[in-house]
Structure 1
Amino acid sequence: MLTKAAVTYGKAEPFRVTEITVDDPNPGEVLVRLVGSGICHTDLLAQDQSYPVPLPAVLGHEGSGVVEKIGLGVTSIQPGDHVVLSYSSCGACANCLSGKAYACEQFYALNFEGKMADGTCRLHEGHQHLSNFFGQASFAHHAVVSARNVVKVPKDVPLEMLGPLGCGIQTGSGAVLNKLKPAPGSSIVIFGTGTVGLSAIMAANVAHCGVILAVDVQENRLELARELGATHTINAKEQNVVETIMGITGKGVHYAIETSGRPENTRKAVDSLAVLGTAVQIGGSALGTEVTLDMNTILFERNLNGFLMGESVPQLYIPMLIALYKQGKFPFDKLIKYYSLEEINQAVQDSKNGTTIKPVIKLG
């Protein structure tokens, strides 16, 4: 079938909206009519080839929409279902079989190498194959995805806003609720108050953390962080971050989350920990980016962990986040601003300059 998509043709080139062909779903796959797609920092890393996704490609990995067709063997999803699309995983490796699909041994190949699990493409422009992204390529009006990517969601919540739950919001909140699991009253600092960081702040509030610190350089984002539950905010342009954290806590924080992908913030996150504290690295950077740590800081029982995709089972975790939203405990809609597909390059620019927290391309 023909559909409209935003295609990335060359390194760091603007998206170009054009008509492409989408194949029917193969066995184990689903055709989805998209109504919304968030723009994530990871899309931009692929666009500028910091993550070398084969080009040309249709990026986008925070899609939401309505199922139109299912391939042979798909039983958990039916046409007409409202769904959110998340990451790809093989379902067969030891990590997937133990319920840790976010650590799938084939994660990079399935999400970044541009082809479906069988090594073929579903997207074409004339005789040119187009790479997909995260097995969904959601910067388009239609996408073919693996049934493993698909999360059925309730129909009583606006579908167009749910896509970011599949990556950024799932990741930030999962760092708190799935990875760190802080005790009530504990202290936590979040470096970066974009979508991922603000999702972590909302989750820290759900977890009843006593001290929730937010670090950024943009005052409008810090203001929103306070609205969403931060007890303290630190403007890194105006204050010494580690000294300020120590002044507030007396001994450092129990937990730190780094969402910006800046190695200097990873160092500050570790340096701000109390003894026995744990820092989590979420933010991605160009391949090969390195960080320097003081060995004696981590020697004293301080920990730094990598982290992917909220360490969640999306089919269980995303409906839980929606339930928290409906209870008024997780107001992620406050992060979102909508754009049309034709406005995608403006949406990217607004995200880069910080005027929009979470741009969502409205497709329905």
Structure 2
Amino acid sequence: MRSEYTRMIKRRIRTELAARLDETPAVALLGPRQVGKTTLAQEIAATRPSVYLDLESEADRAKIADAEQYLTSHQDKLVVLDEVHRLPGLFQILRGLIDRGRRKGLRAGRFLLLGSASIDLMAQSGESLAGRISYLEMGPLDALEVPEQDLPGLWIRGGFPDSYLARSDRISLRWRRDFIRTYLERDIPMFGPRIAAETLRRFWTMLAHHQSGLLNASEFARSLGVDSKTVASYLDLLVDLLLVRRLEPWHSNAAKRLTKSPRIYVRDSGLVHALLNLGDQEAVLGHPVAGASWEGFAIESLIAAAPEGTVANFYRTLAGAEIDLVLTLPHGALWAIEIKRSLAPKVERGFHHAVEDLQPARRIVIYPGVERFPMGHAIEAVPLAQASRELLALHD
């Protein structure tokens, strides 16, 4: 039933994934567990001759005990390798198969590699498959993948399909708690150094409380009883697992004294709420994290909709000029985006000062309403889904 529900949602990334497979010998589809990578890969595989192997399955691993022979016997098919990081030795073999295949005219659509993290997969494939592989990141559902009237529910439950589609808020919260526990007890120890699950849970929860705040590693270190380097390693791990976003500050304006610390966001709003034991909309709205949570939710959707090559930052000077999100589009134009969880948004003086510094092409306030309207000074209030569609329209 879960996969049936998941298939009801059309993922935007499917078109791009199919196009990459038609252009490149190997494509790596990266994203957290349970985000829908396997379902999407199986949908793509159903459209062409293919073989699917789950490398967490002993039976499927046994099939490729002699990987070169097995994969050569299926060189005329798309081979989907799920959880490919479990067999790092495969990457060198794939390189040889791709190179031999090119000489036979097999130039695209050979391998689809699925990974639950960017750490091992990108490091290993980066060495052996350079020039032979294309990377795509698949995140949770965003503002363009659900009906616009369902955005409040997507914000509260988050974008993991099983959480979003759960029959009740209670079931959704339980799913997210189980997801967190599985990552802490099973997946993170597999990807990174041995870290006590309870310590990492405390750190993850602290990040949720600190949503959208500037990173203060020393403060986290004191609370956890570790040093700042250890905190940095914990953060690196969660970032590499695509569970936390480290939004870097804008740094191109040498004439201004700018904040140097990154802002930190737990990337899925539903996980923010689960870490803080907020089970429904009333609980979220009554908690101080509500505004920061909605800010992170909006940022993830906007970045997901932006054209490939877009760079995301925030802007903050020591004098108080500030912009929540600055998008540098591939052709160099800047979008300055302020995010407000209010139906009557107001722009602070710091935003006006910041846009004077940067002179962006667009000045936008994202808010949870349904109509766009001018706010003066070339600033426009725009609903999240509308702004996301405008960014999507900029794709080549």
- Give the structure-1-normalised TM-score: 0.29
Q: Highest Rg: 1 or 2?
A: 2
Greater relative CO (CA pairs within 8 A, separation 6+):
1
When normalised by structure 2's length, the TM-score is: 0.27
Judging by fraction of residues, say which structure has more helix.
2
Task: Give the structure with the larger strand fraction.
Answer: 1
